[in-house]
Amino acid sequence: MLKHPERKYRPFASIELPDRRWPSRRLEAAPRWCSTDLRDGNQALIEPMGIERKRQFFDLLVRLGYKEIEIAFPAASQTDFSFVRGLIDGGSIPDDVWIQVITQAREDLIRDTLEALRGAPRAIVHLYNATAPVFRELVFSQGRQATIDMAVSGTRLIRELCEAQPETEWIYQYSPETFCFTEPEFALEICEAVCQAWQPSAERPLILNLPATVEVATPNVYADQIEWFMRHFSDLSHITISVHPHNDRGTGVACAEQAQLAGAARVEGCLFGNGERTGNVDLVTLALNLYTQGIDPGVDFSDMAEVVRVVESCNQLPVHPRHPYAGELVFTAFSGSHQDAIRKGFAARASDPEGCWQVPYLPLDPVDVGASYEAVIRVNSQSGKGGVAWLLEQDHGLRMPRRLQMEFSRLVQRDSDASGRELDSARIWQLFRETYGLHGTPLMVLGDYRITGAGGGDDPRVQCFEGLLCHAGHTLALQGHGGGVLESVVDSLRGPLDLRLDIVDYQEHSLGGDTESRAVAYVECRDEDGNHRFGVAVEGDSTGAAIRALLGAAARLLTIRQRT
Ligand SMILES: CC(=O)SCCNC(=O)CCNC(=O)[C@H](O)C(C)(C)COP(=O)(O)OP(=O)(O)OC[C@H]1O[C@@H](n2cnc3c(N)ncnc32)[C@H](O)[C@@H]1OP(=O)(O)O
Ligand SMILES: CC(C)C(=O)C(=O)O
C-alpha cells in the first residue's frame, strides 16, 4: 500500500445541508421491499441461475412475503426472457406480487423487454443509465444533455409501449445509475426530465430509484443526498423514492437505514447481501434489524435454515457462519463471560416468559427464526463454568452447585486446552461421569446399609449408620453416628479408613419431572489437609443419593492422600 494514498485517492465530496432532518428521525415502519436477487444478484454469480433455480428462488421470495421482485434482464439472455414468459404464461405470479424487469436505454432492448412482459397482469419496467461524470466521460463519451436525452427517449418509448399493452397494470421505474457520485443538481435535473416524460399519476405511478451503485462515502452522506433530492424535487406526487445500496465500504445496511430516515420509502436489495462485488444491501439483516426494534418487517424469516439452504443452493455461494441473524454461529457463545450472562438471562426469562426479550448478548430470540437453544452455548478452552453448567442442565437436568461448577469446569477447560478442540455435550457428560464415578465401578462401593435412630438416647436427631463398603479389594464394616445421616457416615469413615472429613456443602434435587423421580445429590467435603472435592450420585431415593455422593467425595479425597 502507498505511504501517501492522498496522491492517488480523493475524499468524497459531502453535501451542503446544514438543516438536515434525518438524524433526529426514527424508523417506525417497514419500507416497500424489492428483491433484486434474480437480476442484480444473479448477474454477479459465477454461474448465473438457470430457469429451474430462478423458479426455486422466486417461489422462496413469494413465500417469504416479497411483493416486488426484480426477476430478470429479459433482453439480455434467452434464459431471462424465457423465465419471464414462463411465469406469465404459467399464471404463476400471485395477485399481490409485482414482477420487475430491467433494461438499458436502448431501443432494441426496450422493445424486447416489453415483448417479454406481454400479457403480464402487472409489472414494473425499470430503465437505467449512468449519470456520474466519470461514466459520462469514460463510458458513454457524452455530455449532460445527451445523458438526459438517453433517459428521456427511453422513458418515452416505454410509455408508448406500455400504453399499447393496456391489459397490464404498469409502474415505471427510473434509476440514475451511479446516483451517489453524480452531481446532486444533475441527478435532480435528469429525474425531473424523466418525470416530465412519464407524467406520473395514480394510474401510472413512478419509482425514482437512487442507487449507491458503488458505495463511495459514509452512510450519512448518502442520507444527505436522499434528503437533499427529495427536498428539491418539484412534485413528488405519485412518485416513490427508492434506494438501492451496494456494500463496497461494508456499510450498505447503514446506508439503507439512513436513507429511509431521509425519506426513502422503498429499498432494493438481495438476501444475505449477494450481488456485484461486495454485494447489494442485505434484505435479511434489514428486515430483522426492524424486527428486533419491535417493528413488523412484513417478511417472514421464521425458518431461516430453510432460507439459507435454498439461497445457498440457488446462488451456489455459502452464507457466512457469522452472517447477521442467519449464520451458523450467530447465536453461539463460546466464551465464559458471555455464556454466564446468557445463562442468567435465560434463567430470568424462565420466570417471565412473555416479557420483553432481554437476554444478554442475544439481540434476537433464536426461536423466532427457527433456531433452537441447543447451539447457543458451545464449550471450548475459552469457556467457563456457566457454559458447562448450562449444557449439563439442558441435556441432563443437573443443577450443579456453584462450587461444583467451578471444580468441574477446570477439568473441562484442561481437557479442551489439551486437545485444542471444542468439547461437545456428549464428551462433557462422559468427563462428568468419569470424574464423579457415575459409570463403571466407583472407587467405593456401598453394599447393604441401614440407618437407625440412636436407640432411646436423649437426642432423637442422632442417627446411626451401619454398612458394608468395598474399597481397594477389601470389604469394610462401617459404623458411625452423628447429628444426621451424613454426619453418621462421615463418622463411620474415621475408623477403618482413618479419613477425617468435614461436609462443606450438600444439595439435592429431583431429576426431571417425567419419571419415577430420581434424586441427584451433590456433597462437597474437605479433608484434614484442606483439600476439597465434590461427590455426585443419582439414586432412586434421596438418602441413598446423599450417602453415595458423600462416599464419592471421600474416595476422591482418599486418592489425593494416596498420591502424596
Ligand atoms: C449497475 C447495474 O447492475 S446495471 C445492470 C447491468 N447488468 C448487465 O449488464 C447484465 C446483462 N447485460 C448483458 O447481457 C449485456 O450487457 C447487454 C445484452 C445488455 C448488452 O450487451 P452488448 O450490446 O454486448 O453491450 P455491452 O455488454 O458491451 O455493454 C456496453 C454497452 O452498453 C452501453 N450501455 C451501458 N449501459 C447502458 C444504458 N443504461 N443504456 C444504454 N446503453 C448502455 C455502453 O455504453 C456500451 O455501449 P458501446 O458498446 O456502444 O460502447
Ligand atoms: C441499475 C441500478 C439500480 C443498479 O443495479 C445499480 O446502480 O447498482
Q: Which of the ligands is closest to the CA of residue 178?
A: 2
Dihedral sign from CA coordinates of 145, 150, 151, 154: positive
Cell of 209: 430509484
Measured in angstroms, how far is the CA atom of residue 76 from the centroid of ligand 1? 9
- What letters, b where the CB count within 10 A reaches 16 and e where it falls short, cover 473-495? eeebebebbbebbbbbbbbbbee
For residue 495, the model assigns a pLDDT of 87
280 is in an annotated binding site: yes
Closest ligand (CA of 140): 1
247 is in an annotated binding site: no
Please identify every stretch of the chain with a pLDDT value under 50, giving residue numbers as ranges: none
Atom of ligand 2 nearest to the CA of 179: 7
Position 548 scores a pLDDT of: 95
Exposure string for 120-140, b = 16+ CB within 10 A, e = fewer: beebbbbbbbbbbeebbeeee
- Beta-sheet pairing, 68-72 with 98-104: parallel
Ligand 2 residue neighbourhood (C-beta within 6 Å)? 40, 128, 175, 177, 209, 211, 213, 244, 246
Q: For residue 153, report the distance from its CA to the centre of ligand 2, in Å.
A: 19
Q: Which ipTM score applies to this complex?
A: 0.97
**Which residues have any ligand 1 atom within 6 Å of their CB?**
40, 43, 73, 76, 104-106, 128-129, 139-140, 177, 213
With the most atoms of ligand 1 within 8 angstroms of its CB, the residue from 104, 141, 247 to mutate is: 104
Q: Is 246 annotated as a binding residue?
A: yes
286: Cβ–Cβ under 8 A, 6 or more apart, which residues? 253, 256, 257, 267, 269, 297
Complete domains list, the chain, with CATH: 32-315 (3.20.20.70), 336-435 (1.10.287.1400), 444-563 (3.30.160.270)
For ligand 2, what atom is nearest to the CA of residue 214?
A: 8
Strand 169-177 to 122-130 pairing:
parallel
Longest CA span, the chain: 113
Q: Which atom of ligand 2 is nearest to the CA of 280?
A: 8
Q: Give the Å distance between the CA of 517 and the centre of ligand 2.
A: 64
Which pLDDT value is given to residue 458? 62
d(CA 105, ligand 1 centre) in Å: 9
CA 527–ligand 1 middle distance (angstroms): 83
How many of the other CB atoms lie within 10 Å of CB of 513? 7
**E strands, 40-145, where?**
68-72, 98-104, 122-130
Query: What is the 213 CA–ligand 2 centroid distance (Å)?
Result: 5
DSSP-derived 3-state class of residue 259: helix
Q: How far apart are CA 482 and CA 60, in angstroms?
A: 71
Q: How far is the CA of 351 from the centre of ligand 1 (A)?
A: 60
Tell me the ligand closest to 132's alpha carbon.
2
Atom of ligand 1 nearest to the CA of 178: 1
- Contact of 274 with 284, CB cutoff 8 Å: no
**pTM recorded for the entire structure:** 0.90
